[in-house]
Amino acid sequence: MALSTLLATLLCTIVLPVLLFLVAVKLWEVYIIRSRDPSCRSPLPPGSMGLPFIGETLQLILQRRKFLRMKRQKYGYIYRTHLFGNPTVRVSGADNVRQILLGEHRLVSVQWPASVRTILGSDTLSNVHGALHKTKKKAIMRAFSREALELYIPVIQEEVQASVKGWLARDSCVLVYPEMKRLMFRIAMRILLGFEPEQIKTDEQQLVEAFEEMIKNLFSLPIDVPFSGLYRGLKARNFIHSKIEENIKKKVLESDGGSNHRDALQQLIDSSKKNGEPFSMQAIKESATELLFGGHETTASTATSLVMFLGLNPEVVDRLRQELVDKEEHGMDIRNLDIKSLEQLKYTGCVIKETLRINPPVPGGFRVALKTFELNGYQIPKGWNVIYSICDTHDVAEIFPNKEDFQPERFMTEISADSSRFQYIPFGGGSRMCVGKEFAKVLLKIFLVEVVTKCHWTLLNGLPTMKTGPTVYPVDNLPTKFTSYLQN
């Protein structure tokens, strides 16, 4: 009797729940597969849909790049999954990505996960479409024109020099990734949002912490309840908005239209006035927050990767220094850089390109299928999310031999635009290509000039493990010892 009671208890408490769970998972798979478009004869891509409703979101959040690489190795360049509450097809490889990026408004449309849309807002450049997207993009592009970039250079040099000086003054190691985020945050606040240095000093710590919290929860389950990721992200976002609103009000009061240059935030305010639109404080705040995210998070990631790759490849540092010596001998003043002199630093540009090839800061982009279409023999059902992968596409690109090696010189030989167009896409592509890519290149070149002419550095932990959340970063924050480099 006791044995039968024990068996019954075991059945009810362990075996039955496990069986029910397995049945639920199977029914979930069947439900998703039946959402395929019956009018299309092509099969769904291979893959798995994970747990009911949650899908494979948790595995992605916890494992990031490891999860993505494992899926690609198992299922190939196109596979199905379920992420952030939606059935999703993940796409990599130049030919496949080409169709997605050139299919904007015809096959697909940009659509980031619900949590991203909720936190960043629906009026941001990455979320609007059609004529509104063109208008916003045009306004922001003015802030990244050649003339505007020329005016940014002294500010960028000033901030980078101050940071490098601080790193050299420390006896202890520098945690590079947090330092880069602070540096790039200050630059973005001054250049993109027009904050004065005194304002930044007053609010920097609180703003950086709030931004960290917002970014950490940007990709989360779309559940807004106390203590959830989305709840924490929105709370941090609201604090950032309050500080940006103070600056917007100040700009509106002081604006007289007579300035030769406007920062990106002022461009958005002016554009709203010129188009006769009612001034929307919320829309401007959302756009400013997106600019701050795009303008500092990605450059901080890449600058950290630059320090890492150069620390592991001292011969590349030597060649960078030699390029600068050669340019100085031909009259370049590296203490007062300008656009023309930066364009002459070809090898420096190749180092940045190679860093972006191996560690693109943004791993991919989100779209939604506007209609059912075929991609390399598989159907992509209408309404499903489509993620094109930048990091995977770089990993499988045929034009780059010895992919694991850090070889900036591979970019010294001009690669055919046709062959590289979708095999190398660190800034995305098509009509949604990153609007700040030229700003990023200028900033990163200035950073490299300052750091290689003033510093030696040693990575204290060697090659770190990299994670993505949402941009690529080293899990150990890249502890590094900087010492002074004195030229002979």
Burial 115-145 (b: 16+ CB within 10 A, else e): bbbbbbbebbbbbbeeeebebbeebbebbbe
Which amino acid appears at position 20 of this protein? L
The span from the CA of 256 to the CA of 252, in Å, is 9
CATH class of domain segment(s) 37-484 = mainly alpha
Distances (CA, A) of 405 to 66, 224, 251, 454: 19, 44, 48, 26
The separation between CA 268 and the C-alpha centre of its own chain, rounded to angstroms, equals 22
Question: Tokens in use for 88?
Answer: 């999703």
pLDDT of residue 94: 94
Question: Tokens in use for 384?
Answer: 């499903």
The contacts of residue 386 (CB under 8 Å, 6+ apart) are 88, 89, 90, 91, 100, 108, 366, 367, 368, 369, 380
Is residue 379 exposed (0-12), middle (13-18) or buried (19+ Cβ within 10 Å)?
A: buried
Which sequence spans correspond to the domains of the chain? Answer: 37-484
Point out the annotated binding site: 434
The span from the CA of 185 to the CA of 297, in Å, is 8
Distances (CA, A) of 292 to 98, 103, 190, 274, 289: 29, 28, 10, 24, 5
Point out the annotated binding site for heme: 434
Distances (CA, A) of 380 to 69, 80, 364, 434, 484: 21, 9, 18, 25, 55
pLDDT of residue 123: 77
Rounded to a whole number, what is the largest CA-CA distance in the chain? 97
Residue with tokens 């931004």: 211
List own/partner pairs for 415-423 with CB under 8 A and 24 or more apart: 421/94, 421/98, 422/94, 422/95, 422/97, 422/98, 422/101, 422/393, 423/94, 423/393, 423/394, 423/397, 423/398, 423/399
pLDDT of residue 488: 38
CB atoms closer than 10 angstroms to residue 412: 12
DSSP E strands in 154-294: the ranges are: 174-175
Half-sphere exposure at residue 139, Cβ-oriented, CA atoms within 13 angstroms: 25
Per-residue pLDDT of the chain (488 residues; tens, 9 = 90+): 566 676 666 566 765 566 655 565 555 566 566 567 788 888 999 998 888 778 888 887 777 777 888 898 899 999 999 988 889 999 999 999 999 999 988 999 988 888 888 888 877 888 778 777 888 888 788 888 898 899 899 999 999 999 999 999 998 899 999 999 999 999 998 888 888 887 777 778 888 889 889 988 888 878 888 888 899 999 999 999 998 888 888 877 776 555 545 677 887 777 777 766 666 788 888 888 888 888 888 999 999 999 999 999 999 999 999 999 999 988 888 888 999 999 999 999 999 999 999 999 988 899 999 999 999 999 999 999 999 999 999 999 989 999 999 999 999 887 655 556 899 999 988 888 888 899 999 999 999 999 999 999 999 998 898 888 788 999 999 999 999 987 53
The contacts of residue 86 (CB under 8 Å, 6+ apart) are 113, 384, 385
The terminus-to-terminus CA distance of the chain in angstroms comes to: 91
SS3 115: helix
Residue with tokens 């020329």: 150
User: DSSP alpha helices (H): ranges in 369-436?
Assistant: 390-396, 417-420
